[in-house]
Amino acid sequence: MRWVGLVRNVMLGRDGLDRARLLDTVAQVGGSRVRSYLTTGNVTFDAGAKEVDDLTGRLEVELSRVVSRPAMVAIREYGWLRDLVTNDLFAGFDAEECEFEVAFLRRAAPPIDPEVTPRDW
């Protein structure tokens, strides 16, 4: 299964974490076919659905050790994230009138129901 790992509070090239070390770390904790994107710290990788939560925990521990502070990794299934972007949830909002913020919680967090999110400002 393909996953996206959104590494929070980390900037590649700082605190001893470069692209090669990030890719190696994801591979060492169990990810395969690891790819990174620009200098964001975001990665894609393959792992089994049953293994991904343990892999995420090991990855957070290793990255936190490298950068000497907590490093949270939000994991999402690649297809889910692709569909989220494709659906353009913010299409109905005027960018001049709204400020957009997106947050990804831990994978185990219950999903937020978009129907209960206020649309009127």
| Cα(48)–Cα(51) distance, integer angstroms | 5
| Cα(95)–Cα(97) distance, integer angstroms | 5
Residue labelled with tokens 């964001």: 40
| pLDDT number for residue 18 | 84
| pLDDT number for residue 119 | 66
Specify the pTM: 0.80
**What's the angle, vertex CA 20, arms to CA 16 and CA 26, rounded to 5?**
95
Taking the domains of the chain in order of start, what are their residue ranges?
Answer: 1-121
The segments of the chain whose pLDDT lies below 50 read: none
Give per-residue pLDDT as tens, 49-63: 999 999 999 999 999
CATH 3.40.5.50 fits 1-121, yes or no: no
| pLDDT number for residue 1 | 96
